[in-house]
């Protein structure tokens, strides 16, 4: 018996940020933003928000989780500015 498994997690491009100092390499860069969205039936029924918001430094390729409020406000069209305090290091690729 075969069980079909459909991955219903999509990655969305969130555009670029304003210039911010990377906490790892200390360079002032415009980071790329990404978000994931879980569209499975289980997530809809449970009402769990499993969305992940990340940013990537173009200089050192370090990956950061982004404060969820920042990207939600950005998606609403509010003018927001990313700061170092909005970033939490996930992976340090500098070295």
Phi-psi region of 70 (alpha: psi -120 to 50; beta: other; left: phi over 0): alpha
Q: Where are the beta strands (DSSP E) in the chain?
A: 9-21, 28-38, 53-56, 63-66, 87-91
Residue 94 banded pLDDT, cuts 50, 70, 90: low
Say what the pLDDT of residue 50 is: 65
* Mean of pLDDT values over 86-95: 84
**18 vs 46: which has the higher pLDDT:** 18
């Amino acid at each position: 018996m075969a069980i079909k498994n459909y991955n219903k997690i999509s990655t969305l491009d969130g555009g670029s940020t304003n210039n911010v100092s990377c906490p790892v390499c200390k360079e002032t860069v415009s980071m790329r933003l990404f978000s994931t969205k879980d569209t499975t039936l289980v997530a809809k029924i449970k009402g769990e928000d499993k969305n992940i918001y990340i940013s990537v430094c173009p200089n050192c390729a370090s990956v950061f989780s982004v404060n969820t409020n920042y990207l939600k406000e950005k998606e609403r069209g509010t003018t927001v500015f990313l700061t170092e305090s909005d970033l939490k290091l996930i992976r340090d690729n500098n070295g």
